[in-house]
Structures are given as structure tokens and as C-alpha cells.
Amino acid sequence: MRTFSKATIGRLLFGFLSGVLSLAAQTAKPMSQPHAVSASPLWVTKAVTAPRVTHHVFTSKSAKAEVSYHLYRPAAYEADGGRRFPVVYWLHGSGGGLPGISSVARRFDAAIEAGKLPPCLVVFVNGLEMGMYVDWADGSAPVESMIIRDLLPHIDATYRTIAKREGRLLDGFSMGGYGAGRFGFRYPELFQNVSMMGAGPMQETLDRTPRASSVQAKSLLRDVYGGKQARFLAVSPRRYAEQNATTLARGSRLRLVIGDRDETFDSNRNFHDHLMRLGIPHQWIVLPGIGHDPMGVLAAMGDQHWAFYRDAFAAVVV
């Protein structure tokens, strides 16, 4: 297992306890956007029980630890042993993604069974409670490296995947939408299809977020980005879009989805405008009457949600 400095352990434990107290105090209002620094050094989550969903553990060289993930396999995967399938990498929001796995997997399964979506694998990635899908500045949580360098090759080596950029799709909500943008815009050679729903934090500085106080934002900036605003911007979807604008404009399929009552609406609209200035084509979908609620977004999207997936995988599914 990876060793941690006393200072890092103290910050992680403080953040973890803060996250537990915050989650315990939540009402029905969703809190997927950063609300407290609650990242945990524990890389293996509990197993979630859901139809066609299994819990797995693999060895990550980057994390120097065993890391868990959940996997949805459609009925066609078992029925046709010679067939390869596209892969959706589902990135959860802050606080951990376990509660949403069952609901999201059921939606995928129902859409596939109804013919709205071609059969695909869905990898529910373990991004830690507040991992931000970034390699932490102090090296204590190499979340990005674990996913890109270790998890992707593991999935392609272990399952019958379509192991090329056209066969991969990134999707996620809130922190997961931010992560999808980071990975999709930084690694266009790995991912052709990128969906960002209710993504955040999408602003240019992490001094205050739409769903976190200045104190919470400061803690997040310190623990994940080494306390440096320049680092936060340097590893942001905004900066990677600038760096890879030509490649993204020529060969990527991108989507931004946001509710018009979402606290992150303004920062998402600003990012949409940023992509327009860069000449990067993308879908811009605004859902009326929807706040920062992942299940509400999926319900409001309806069949429109699966149309993006169908178009994404049309060239690789026969």
C-alpha cells in the first residue's frame, strides 16, 4: 500500500470525517458538486448489488494499491462469446458513486433491452469521494494515472472490448462531468466521445464554487491542487480544450448538458462559450426546470440521452 505523510493523513482524515458528517446531514437535495473535502485513501469500495453488475478489484501500479470498480455487462455479452463491445466509463460525482450505481445500471439495461442503445459495457469508476479525477499535487492520490494508465488497459485486457477511441465513451455528472471533460479533452487519442452533465467546477479559479463556500473551496484547492490556482487552471478541461482544440474539432463527439436551475449553470454556459470561441463543435443542451440532480437530468433527457450514445457507437457496432 502507498504510504502517506503525517500531514497528508491528517488532512485526509479531517476531510473524510467532514464528508461523513456532511452526507449524514443531507436532505433530499442532491449534493454531487464539491461540498467538503472528503477524499479517502481507501481505494476499495463496498460491493453494490444490482442486476448484471459485478464488483472487481485490480492492482494499480500508479496507486500502489488494489483498486475497485463495478462493471455492468449486458445480456448480449454472455449470449455471444465472440462479440466485442463498446465501453462507457461512468464517472461519479463527489461523495462517492455507490448509491447511484444501481439506478444508472438499470437505466442502461432498460435502454439496451428496448433497443434504444446498442449493447455496451459500463465501467463504474472509483474516483474516490473527492478525488476530482486528478493526480493530487502531493502525490498522495494519483486518481488520473490510476484510471488512464492502469484501469483502461486492465479493462481492455480482461473483457471483450472495442479497444480504440471510437469504442470508448466518457460520461459523468458534477465532479464526474468535470472528470469526463478533463480526460476527454486531454486524451483525445483515447476517447472520441465525451459527455459532461452538470459539470463542475468549471470556473477559471477555485476561490468559491457555486455549491461550496470559500472555506470549502480553499480546502479543496489545498488538498488536491497544492493550494495553487495556476495548477487548478492548468489541469482543467478549459486548458486542455485550448491545447487540443484542433484535434477535438476534427474528430471528437462532445456534449454539455445542464439544467437551467443548476447552480453551476453560469460556469457551464461560460465553458460552452469558450468551446465556441475555440471552434470546437459540441451539443449544448439546457434542461428547463432542472437543478443539480443527476437522476432528474437523466429523466428529463429521456430518449435524447441515448441518442448521443447511439451516434457515438454507430461506427463500431455492427
The predicted pLDDT at position 42 comes to 80
Range 211-215 average pLDDT: 71
pLDDT reading at 268 higher than 90: yes
**pLDDT at residue 209, rounded to an integer:** 67
Mean predicted confidence (pLDDT) in 18-41? 37
Largest distance between two CA atoms of the chain: 54
Mean pLDDT, residues 240-258 taken together: 97
Predicted confidence band of residue 96 (pLDDT cuts 50, 70, 90): confident
At residue 7, the pLDDT reads 45
| Alpha-carbon distances, residue 26 vs 19, 31, 87, 99 (angstroms) | 11, 8, 33, 14
Say how far apart CA 195 and CA 184 lie, in whole Å.
9
* Contact (Cβ atoms closer than 8 angstroms) between residue 70 and residue 101: yes
Mean pLDDT over residues 282-289, rounded?
98
Q: What is the pLDDT of residues 110-160, one digit of tens each?
A: 999 999 999 999 999 999 999 999 999 999 999 999 999 999 999 999 999
pTM across the whole model: 0.87
Distance (Å, whole) CA 9 – CA 25: 24
The angle formed by the CA atoms of residues 132, 137 and 140, to the nearest 5 degrees, is: 80
Are 45 and 6 within 8 A, CB to CB?
A: no
Q: Is 122 helix (H, G, I), strand (E, B) or coil?
A: strand
pLDDT of residue 211: 64
Kindly report the average pLDDT of the chain as a whole number: 88
Closest CA to 51 of 108, 135, 97, 94: 108
DSSP H helices in the chain: 6-25, 75-79, 98-113, 143-145, 152-158, 175-186, 214-225, 229-234, 237-243, 245-251, 265-278, 294-301, 303-313
pLDDT at 278 over 90: yes
- The more confident residue out of 12 and 267 is 267
When pLDDT is cut at 50, 70 and 90, the band that residue 176 belongs to is very high
Q: Residue 188: what residue type? A: P
Reported as a pLDDT band with limits 50, 70 and 90, residue 318 is: low
More confident residue, 19 or 226: 226
CA separation for the pair 247, 244 (Å, rounded)? 5
Q: Is the pLDDT of residue 208 over 90?
A: no
Q: Comparing C-alpha atoms, which of 143, 126, 192 is closest to residue 163? A: 192
The Cα-based distances of 171 to 3, 177, 207 in angstroms read 31, 7, 26
Give residue 317's pLDDT. Answer: 82
- Per cent of the chain over pLDDT 70 is 85
Instruction: Find out whether 275 and 244 touch, Cβ atoms under 8 Å.
Output: no
Residue 256 in this model has a pLDDT that exceeds 80:
yes
In the predicted model, what is the mean pLDDT of residues 239-264?
Answer: 97
Listed range (90-104, 174-188, 197-211) with the worst mean pLDDT: 197-211
Assigned C-alpha cell, 129: 469521494
Q: How do residues 39-90 score in pLDDT, each as one tens digit?
A: 445 899 999 999 999 999 999 999 999 999 999 999 999 999 999 999 999 9
Task: Give the Å distances, CA to CA, from 119 to 197, 207, 237, 317.
Answer: 22, 42, 29, 9
Q: How far is CA 83 from CA 92, 124, 316, 317, in A?
A: 28, 21, 12, 10
